[in-house]
Structure 1
């Protein structure tokens, strides 16, 4: 394969994330065994709603039309963050979320595929995302601390791919920026996962990147339970080359770090509370599936989808990583076409916008870095001059003390 360009990687990551989201949506919340029973085998592409035509009233999903190529709130939030980048055209922080993202969620009606209607994004996003509006718009909390008190889940991590793409090939910068942005939404290991996922996407954009280098970058930056979970899951994933044999071992590996428990729809009492010992489930599994699939988009995403549980977010993250590694050409065109048409969503326009913004930010970063280099060089020259003067004065004093020529010697 040829090395993808920046534009191809950005388009591949965002398209790959949206397609993974749409494939995982209809089987979200179910176990691998339930998925097999419902679909008479593993999911191999776009499928319809779990309850067929009864999706409008069937519980617990109603009234969302999950399936048939419809994206979910993962992609809605990802595109909302891209619009913030398009407005600010520079690095973002928690204040950008308060100033731009929240107003967008509550003021601008958009087509919501799962509702099959135009509505405010706020009417579709999950309660963990509605928290942004409650805390920032109504509560007027400090944006940097607004995430404290929210349930700790993958809510912030699921839409952080744009941060990694803006900081392409610079995982540490992506990690720091995502942590700042996510402070408005999450705390604890939910916020940490947002930073690590953004870093992984940035690492996937580096020339010559592989699934292994992506995992290494994530492990280098991850802290506490997030790091331990990624380490445990990816160690197991390295022993498998097909998701069929990996599904149960990966779940077993992540279970000690996951607070939700074995029944995804009936979380334990300790679920989603802050902890330094735990991790969200979605990010370690997405990285594990990336290794199992060898970075191949189809194998990686289908493994994520058939894992079940929160598989739309897992497939969103895995699709973003595989797409960043190998570009838009890695995403099956029939899948992306189906999602584009079913969701009434232009998948390329946000990618083109973000690529333009990424280049502007890089140019601005270059100017800022050069200005800093120049200032630091002048400081270093001043320090060198001061040291030279101090040395000269010290030499004169030493000469005086030994009776050599100098003011003190002349006075004597």
Structure 2
């Protein structure tokens, strides 16, 4: 298996593992998680609510027992869009291909334990894609304006990083274009930063520090300030810091930038509104955990799970990055096997599909770059001749 194919598989595996483990803890505080599970979560656990079929606010979703959630479903949907277009994507590709896919493709939805269209599972911020693009006929580049600002676009941008492996700048630009159909403000910005971080993580020789540098190089406004604050807090932790102390320190660092507030299920009145000074919580925390646990896939994923709040998205993001850095050897395959069986998904199929497309795009980029160089050299020669 070549480098790109192996790293693609590892990124998607790390993402799915984080998503599935974090699903059980989503929406709850670190203290509530400990009380429910008799301590910190150390692997795949049953749902937080034993009566999950009717318990509010999570019913009718089967979160836990190794089931992936909408983070992975949307990531796989974006892979399908790449597989159809077989080139870099933009907001128009999202309108043309992703929106119909959400409405028409019937597939097994693990949390619902039945076949359904993805539109029946995704959250309101993702349903916005259909409302705005299918029924509102909005310009795809601007359709995200007016949506709630959350991690909805960022959570499935890992494939953008893979098809732009080693080129964080291009990954950021492509993700910003794609995410314009879905999100605005710091939600869209987070999508670009995450894609850039993934692109760096799968580059040969990448390190935790180079991933953070790539994220900060292209970040803007409150998102950049939030990443800087959380990463600084992570780097300042003493070697003796406990898991609980790490989580508390990172939460304290993100608090000034987080619009949701401390009571996750009772968000502030100004939560999820556009801002130049705020940030989503999930991505900075994921980057902070990557630093705090030095890229260790298992440890960083479990830390994200036990952090609580939007734990599945945080764990999915840090799992993607740790997978990109560590490769397949870092993947917790014993967890992945259980998750694949519980979710009725062959993750290898999606990894192969994305790797095939990424290789095609890479070759096309090489050809395009050669043409660009020839054009620039020709213009340079013509300019020199006129001089």
C-alpha distance in structure 1 between counterparts of 2:378 and 2:206, whole Å: 37
Conserved 8 A contact 1:157-1:191 = yes
Q: Which residue of 1 aligns with 2:63?
A: 66
Matches within 5 A, 1:89-238: 89-238=86-235
Conserved? CA contact 1:4–1:326, under 8 Å? no
Q: Counterpart of 2:37?
A: 39
Pairwise CA distance, 1:171? 0.3
Match of 1:315 in 2: 315
Q: Please, which runs of 5 or more residues in structure 1 have no aligned partner?
A: 388-412
Take 1:44 and 1:325, find their aligned partners in 2: how far apart are those partners? 22
Give 1:4 shift: 7.9
* 8 A Cα contact 1:243 1:289, kept in partner: no
Q: Please give the alpha-carbon distance, in whole angstroms, between the structure 1 residues aligned to 2:213 and 2:268.
A: 32
Paired with 1:16 and 1:4, the residues of 2 have a C-alpha distance of 18
Q: Distance in 2 between matches of 1:239 and 1:347?
A: 37
**Alpha-carbon distance between aligned partners in 1 of 2:207 and 2:368, rounded to the nearest angstrom:** 31
Deviations, residues 301-327 of structure 1 (Å, cap 9, x unaligned): 011110000000000100000001111
1:38 deviates by: 0.5
Q: Equivalents in 2 of 1:370, 1:209: separation in Å? A: 26
Q: Which runs of 5+ in 2 are unaligned?
A: none
Q: 1:172: how far off? A: 0.2
Q: Deviation digits for residues 71-113 of structure 1, max 9, x if unmatched?
A: 0000000000000000000000000000000000000111000
Q: How does 1:397-412 map to 2 (within 5 A)?
A: none
Q: Which residue of 1 aligns with 2:325?
A: 325
Give deviations 1:169-219, integer Å, cap 9, x for gaps: 100000000000000000000000000000000010111111111111101
Partner SS state of residue 280, structure 1: coil
Matched residue, 1:6: 4
Q: Does 1:248 align with 2:248?
A: yes
Please say if 1:351 is aligned against 2:348.
Answer: no
Q: Whole-Å Cα distance in 2 between the matches of residues 373 and 106 of structure 1?
A: 42
Tell me the distance in 1 between the aligned counterparts of 2:301 and 2:319.
6
CA RMSD of aligned residues (A): 1.1
Q: Provide the rounded CA distance (Å) in 2 between the counterparts of 1:117 and 1:68.
A: 16
Per-residue deviation, 1:376? 1.4
**Corresponding residue of 1:51:** 49
Number of residue pairs aligned between Structure 1 and Structure 2: 384
Offset of residue 355 of structure 1: 0.7
Q: 2:274 — aligned with what?
A: 274
**1:56 alignment partner, SS class:** coil
1:243 Cα deviation after fit: 2.9
* Aligned match of 1:374: 374
Task: Indicate the residue corresponding to 1:239 in structure 2.
Answer: 236
Larger Rg, first or second structure (1 or 2): 1
- Looking at structure 1, the residues matched to 128 and 7 of structure 2 have their Cα atoms a distance apart, in angstroms, of 32
